[in-house]
Amino acid sequence: MERRTFLQILGGVGASLFVPIDSCSGASGESAGPPAKRDLLMQRNQNRSTVISQHGMVCASQPLASMAGIDMLKAGGTAVDAAIAASAMLSLVEPMMCGPGGDLFAIVWNEKEQKLFGLNASGRSPYDWSLQQALDLGLTEIPTYSPLAWSVPGCVSGWSALHERFARLPFAQLLEPAIRHAKEGFPVSPIIGRSWTFNTLNEPGLLRTYQPQGESIRAGTIFRNPDLAACFETLSREGPKAFYEGEIAERIVKFSQAVGGRFAMRDFREHKADWIEPVSTNYRGYDVWELPPNGQGIAALQMLNLLEHFDIGSLKPNSTEHLHLFIEAKKLAFEDRACYYADMDCADVPVRQLISKEYAAERVKLIDPTRAAQQVDPGRLRGRSDTIYLTTADGEGNMVSLIQSIYYAWGSGYVPDGLGFCLQNRGQLFALDSRHLNCLKPHKRPFHTIIPAFVTKTGRPVFSFGVMGGGFQPQGHVQVLMNLLDFGMSPQQAGEQPRIEHAESSEPTGKKMVGSGSVGFEKGIDDEVKLKLAYMGHRIRPNTGAWGGYQGIWRQDDPLRYFGGSDPRKDGCAIGF
């Protein structure tokens, strides 16, 4: 294929090797604020400065959330206080991505104990929802926008667990900024404004809450959410238990009964968040930490174990050689992800084997440096045949890596009467196959995509970070870490570089990869690189996209300093003081 022909294909001319993908969707019409070129939101100039501070830092995907966290630090709170306040604010200002109706995971570095703590605050399926019931309904997969995709929201239990163990300020104080802005209103920011669309979703509660005047919400629109303010005020008065034992739980269960859901009060009363041990692998002398399944974090560790067999730092960033190795490592890790990742309370997940160096040494032999694999199988182990991320740090050295989501944009599309938030649809990720580790069972956690991450060196905290973006997240983690540790970029630069996304791997729902999958690119990847990857057998998607939303805080000691980076793909910022 000649270069000219290839460039024509990238411009939209069809060919079997290249598969189309929809470009980023967004609200139509002009902005409610000053004139703005919408397309330029995804083409920002790069390399703004890394933010540096001594006394504390908050990095979040919307400025009001970063400011809420900073306010808590200035009031004498810890990094955990800041994280809860920022998380609550994001529930208001970025509602299509997160809220009390979703789940939460966190990794906390506690300076006093010199230790990392992991928190799994994801919810479980209803007791009255089983594989046999789903099959009796004729389902081959759980519908996405449906009460049948609900699992118990774990977010508020995560706030509660974090507050009880590590916070300093009263819980009610942490919700004050979100309550105030929910009542008084806030101007919708540009990237979030692009996502404030409902497409085919027409559930009355959703439209009543998030399009109250029947008019489109755009950048600059002043939006208020009095129902969410009232919900948070209930939590302020009665504490987080009100979400699982009191009025809020009762209203969700009543709503569930009215619309065909399976929730009962027992599901909420018996829900709990769990403190768990993070797991790690060493990459280039740094220990990279993730949480074990039901999340997908160990996929990043598996990819790093494979990539350390190659001298990535000697390659040009985003060169053909670099991206080919990355894609092939991803494909291998994601086949294991599809086969083995599940709720460890209900399935025997071989985590230690999957993230072992010995296992990677065998699997890496399947990577051909010159050709794309067209078929990938999971490894044979012994005994076996849309999200928000934020990170905070305080002047005492405590750090938090926190991620929160309702899964799809607007979650399931259902808003319980008068509560001001969407219920997640994370239960859509169960497999409806009794042989699968991730198969649907009552009171079981589904496979999860949201993953916080942390990096230490010789037992000391170095880097708290995450990259939102559904199934893309392990790919985002690895690309950021290669930029930092292999290519020597700053925390800000590491998140600004163009990314790629390999898609169509096998999934934990039972879906299988066909061929080699496909590769999408952000703007900034050279066309010659795409051409060479195509020659190697990769299927190249012709249109450009944008993937992930990164936030990160790098720590230096003696004296203590924080270096913050915030993704230009989002509206947010790093703020330090």
Which of 31-40, 102-111, 126-135, 351-360 bottoms out in mean pLDDT, i.e. has the lowest? 31-40
d(CA 257, CA 280): 42
Q: Is the pLDDT of residue 252 over 90?
A: yes
Angle at 493 between CA 466 and CA 483, to 5 degrees: 70
Q: Which residues contact 162 (CB under 8 A, 6 or more apart)?
A: 80, 83, 84, 106, 108, 119, 400
For domain 99-157+243-411+425-577, the CATH superfamily is Gamma-glutamyltranspeptidase, small (S) subunit (3.60.20.40)
Question: What band does 569 get if pLDDT is binned at 50, 70 and 90?
Answer: very high
Q: Is the pLDDT of residue 26 over 80?
A: no
d(CA 449, CA 467): 11
d(CA 466, CA 456): 14
Residue 543 has a pLDDT of: 84
Task: Give, in order, the Cα–Cα distances in Å from 401 to each of 95, 163, 223, 290.
Answer: 20, 15, 28, 10
Residue 380 has a pLDDT of: 57
d(CA 79, CA 153): 23
User: In 195-296, which residue ranges form alpha helices assigned H by DSSP?
Assistant: 204-210, 226-238, 242-245, 247-259, 265-269
What is the DSSP code (8-state) at residue 195? T
Instruction: Compute the Cα dihedral for 37, 38, 41, 44 and give only its sign.
Output: negative
Q: Is the pLDDT of residue 7 over 60?
A: no
Question: What band does 276 get if pLDDT is binned at 50, 70 and 90?
Answer: very high
Query: Does the bond joining 126 to the residue before it have cis omega, within 30 degrees of 0?
Result: no
Give the predicted TM-score (pTM) of the model: 0.91
Beta bridge partners of residue 222, listed in sequence order: 187
Which one from 50, 221, 387, 392 is the annotated catalytic residue?
Answer: 387
Question: What band does 37 get if pLDDT is binned at 50, 70 and 90?
Answer: low
Question: What band does 42 get if pLDDT is binned at 50, 70 and 90?
Answer: low
Residue 19 has a pLDDT of: 41
Closest CA to 353 of 363, 343, 345: 363
Spacing of C-alpha 102 from chain mean position: 12
221 is catalytic: no
Instruction: Compute the Cα dihedral for 47, 49, 55, 59 and give only its sign.
Output: negative
In this prediction, residues 114-129 reach a mean pLDDT of 97
Q: Is the pLDDT of residue 21 over 90?
A: no
Q: What percent of the chain has pLDDT over 90?
A: 79
Instruction: Look up residue 284 and give its two tokens.
Output: 């280039």
Question: What band does 33 get if pLDDT is binned at 50, 70 and 90?
Answer: low
Q: Is the pLDDT of residue 117 over 90?
A: yes
Residue 316 has a pLDDT of: 95
3 state SS of 125: coil
Q: Is the pLDDT of residue 35 over 80?
A: no
Q: Which residues contact 566 (CB under 8 A, 6 or more apart)?
A: 51, 59, 60, 61, 492, 495, 550, 551, 572, 573, 574
Beta bridge partners of residue 105, listed in sequence order: 120, 403
Residue 471 has a pLDDT of: 87
Residue 48 has a pLDDT of: 78
Angle at 412 between CA 336 and CA 130, to 5 degrees: 60
User: In 502-570, which residue ranges form alpha helices assigned H by DSSP?
Assistant: 527-535
**pLDDT digits 0-9 by tens, 399-454:** 999 999 999 999 999 999 999 999 999 999 999 999 899 999 999 999 999 999 99
Do 149 and 425 form a contact (C-beta atoms < 8 A)? yes
Q: What percent of the chain has pLDDT over 70?
A: 90
Which of 63-72, 390-399, 538-547 bottoms out in mean pLDDT, i.e. has the lowest? 538-547
Pairing of strands 388-394, 274-276: unpaired
**pLDDT digits 0-9 by tens, 158-171:** 999 999 999 999 99
Instruction: Look up residue 325 and give its two tokens.
Output: 């190795």
In this prediction, residues 298-314 reach a mean pLDDT of 96
User: In 376-526, which residue ranges form alpha helices assigned H by DSSP?
Assistant: 473-481, 491-496
Residue 20 has a pLDDT of: 38
Do 429 and 510 form a contact (C-beta atoms < 8 A)? no
Residue 213 has a pLDDT of: 84
Residue 27 burial class via C-beta count within 10 angstroms: exposed 0-12, middle 13-18, buried 19 and up = buried
3 state SS of 357: helix
Q: What is the mean pLDDT of the chain?
A: 90
Residue 9 has a pLDDT of: 45
Beta bridge partners of residue 392, listed in sequence order: 58, 400
Task: Give, in order, the Cα–Cα distances in Å from 252 to each of 100, 239, 416, 423.
Answer: 12, 17, 6, 9
Instruction: Compute the Cα dihedral for 394, 395, 399, 401 and give only its sign.
Output: positive
